[in-house]
Amino acid sequence: MEPNAIHDLLCAKLGEAALEYVDSYEKGTVIAAAKIAEAATLLRDEPELHFEQLMCLSGVDWDGHDAEGKGKSVAILGYTEEGKPELSDRVGDGDLGVFYACYSHRHGHKYSLFVRVPRDAAEVPTVSHLWPTAAWHEREAYDLVGITFTGHPDLRRILLEDGWEGHPLRKDYQMPAQWQGVPLEGRSYAANPFNEADVVLPTKPEGGQG
């Protein structure tokens, strides 16, 4: 089916929960967060859609993005001539988002779903009962971006240590100064530009056989 036909079908079945059609590189529909499980059920079970495979699920921190999709990649506006970062003052107030990419082996078509949730109430219903593969991807999104998936059977960190603080892929993430007594030198790349004079080459040991 053509992407806009899929969008029309979603609109007909979900009503106002299908918010808008995304016609960018990726074709898809923005769904109200509370209705994502219904939308996913439709995509999977409707015979003419039949998206039996969830290719990808990614959590996104949209912080710094304005309505036109323009923004800064990191919490840094730019660099001064000395290479010092100039920090953005609007970090930490953007939405979080989830992206679902589905593929149908039967019909050979693709479609995407998008969800946006406010940062202070980042809760999205799980789709892991529909596509079991989502269970691990949702755990990853929880671990790295900090989105809570309600109804998930086993929502805990997957890549980081259980006791880790914060969610690294958030744009306002601050690396802890130490972890279990080990100091972490969380310095940004831009603040430490490469300088050839700093490189210490290993010297040949005197009197040795090497």
Q: What is the DSSP letter of 204?
A: P
| Backbone φ, ψ for residue 40 (5° rounding) | -65, -40
158 binds another protein (CB under 8 A): yes
The residue among 35 and 137 lying less far from another protein, judged by its C-beta, is 137
Q: Give the shortest CB-188-to-another protein separation in angstroms.
A: 6
Residue 103 makes CB contacts below 8 A (sequence gap 6+) with 51, 53, 54, 55, 109, 110
The residue among 89 and 206 lying less far from another protein, judged by its C-beta, is 89
Near another protein in 95-114, by CB under 8 A: 99, 101, 105, 108, 112
The residue among 151 and 153 lying less far from another protein, judged by its C-beta, is 153
Structure tokens at 208: 């040795």
Near another protein in 22-81, by CB under 8 A: 24-26, 52-56, 58, 60-61, 64-65, 68-74
Helix, strand, or coil (residue 17)? helix
Paired sense of beta strands 123-125 and 148-150, if any: parallel
Q: Which stretch binds another protein (CB under 8 A): 7-15, 167-175, 177-185, 201-209?
A: 167-175
Residue 146 makes CB contacts below 8 A (sequence gap 6+) with 59, 96, 122, 166, 167, 170
Q: Give the shortest CB-131-to-another protein separation in angstroms.
A: 6
Q: Give the shortest CB-70-to-another protein separation in angstroms.
A: 6
The residue among 7 and 171 lying less far from another protein, judged by its C-beta, is 171
Cα–Cα–Cα angle for 15, 8, 58, rounded to 5 degrees: 85
CA atoms of 123 and 146, how far apart (whole Å): 9
- Footprint on this chain of another protein (rule: CB under 8 A): 24-26, 52-56, 58, 60-61, 64-65, 68-74, 99, 101, 105, 108, 112, 131-133, 135-137, 144, 157-161, 168-169, 171, 173, 188-190
